[in-house]
Structure 1
Amino acid sequence: MSFQAHTIAILKDLEQNALQLDNAQAMKLISQIRNAKHIFLQGAGRSGIAIRAFANRLVHLGFSVSVVGEISSPHSKPGDLLIIGSGSGETSSLKSLAHQAVENGVEVALITMKSDSTIGQLASSVLVLPGKMKTENDRQLIHFSQPMGSAFEQLCFIVYDAIVLELMDQLGETSQSMFKRHADFE
């Protein structure tokens, strides 16, 4: 397969997965975001990179946001929201974080491939992104498949941007109004 063919196959794979997204799950997460006093976000590995980009856009929309582990992150309070991006929903550090959030009265939202995971059971909302776990055997799949969890992480970026677009519509935000909140010290 050529480079261009690989690129097209990836896009088709993502399109097929995107067609399986549950709008009601997404809208519940969007409602939680709008109602949260403060939003904490965390993911591990490549999922963590995607969720950090999402945190950045939420700041541009005017939300009070922190990435867990940053030194400037405030103490959590009831009424806050913790959004976790985890394909498996079983990453040890993220499970511990979700347990702590629930103990502190913080709502947990999970973006995952496994709604019945440990974190999924703790979460008040779960947005399932179809895809293949990085530990699943490629030979079990009939259609084109990317290695490990690549499709999940790529779809995370797209889904997070779709959530931002929906929030922009709901809040009456534009690229121009968001740019006023963009970092000027770079």
Structure 2
Amino acid sequence: MHVVGEVTAPAIRQGDTLVLVCGSGKTPVSTSFATTAEAEGATLVVVTHKPESLLARTSDLLLTVPMDASVQFGGSVFEQACLVMFDALALRLGSGPDAQAAMWRRHTNLQ
């Protein structure tokens, strides 16, 4: 697994999966990443609260995070909802008998 923009991140290619988390589903950098991934034949997973957005329509897999309007600045509620959702997903994926040991083996030891 890599994060876009990391020095060690390889080029995206067919067989890869790009996960984009974008509340509006239309930010220029996210749509640019999606266009590149699509051109290379990669799978596109989009997490958004706008299921009618451009990114949602071009995704191979869509996770919609339902949310209401908020007084919080700049999409904070969406980001908080994603944090909880991804934490729950990690707990679910990591519920196998060897999952905890595997996670500890990969956990940073350069702190």
| TM-score, length of structure 2 as denominator length | 0.90
CA distance in 2, matches of 1:172, 1:124: 30
Give the CA deviation at 1:177: 2.8
> Which of 83, 87, 90 is residue 161 of structure 1 equivalent to?
87
Report the 3-state secondary structure (helix = DSSP H, G, I; strand = E; otherwise coil) of the residue aligned with 1:179. helix
> Which of 59, 67, 70 is residue 131 of structure 1 equivalent to?
67
CA distance in 1, matches of 2:25, 2:48: 6
Q: Are positions 1:122 and 2:58 aligned together?
A: yes
Tell me how large the CA RMSD over aligned residues is: 1.6
CA distance in 1, matches of 2:97, 2:9: 25
Q: Which moved more, 1:88-97 or 1:161-170?
A: 161-170
CA distance in 1, matches of 2:89, 2:55: 21
- The corresponding residue for 1:104 is 40
- The runs of 4+ residues in structure 1 deviating greater than 3 Å are none
Q: Are positions 1:95 and 2:38 aligned together?
A: no
- The corresponding residue for 2:72 is 147
**Higher Cα Rg, which structure:** 1
| TM-score, length of structure 1 as denominator length | 0.55
CA distance in 1, matches of 2:49, 2:83: 14
> For 1:143-171, what per-residue CA distance to the aligned partner results, in whole angstroms no more than 9, with x for missing partners?
xx341312111011111111111211258
**Structure 2: stretches of 5+ with no match in the other structure:** none
CA distance in 2, matches of 1:75, 1:171: 34
Alignment length (residue pairs): 110
- 1:83 counterpart letter in structure 2: V
Q: How do 1:2-13 residues align onto structure 2 when only pairs under 5 Å count? A: none
Higher relative contact order (CA 8 A, sep 6+): 1
Identity %: 32
CA distance in 2, matches of 1:99, 1:164: 28
CA distance in 2, matches of 1:171, 1:68: 31
CA distance in 2, matches of 1:156, 1:180: 26
Distance 1:179 1:170, change over 3 A: closer
Give the CA deviation at 1:125: 0.8
Report the 3-state secondary structure (helix = DSSP H, G, I; strand = E; otherwise coil) of the residue aligned with 1:120. helix
**Structure 1: stretches of 5+ with no match in the other structure:** 1-64, 133-137, 139-144
> For 1:74-103, what per-residue CA distance to the aligned partner results, in whole angstroms no more than 9, with x for missing partners?
122211100000000000010011011000
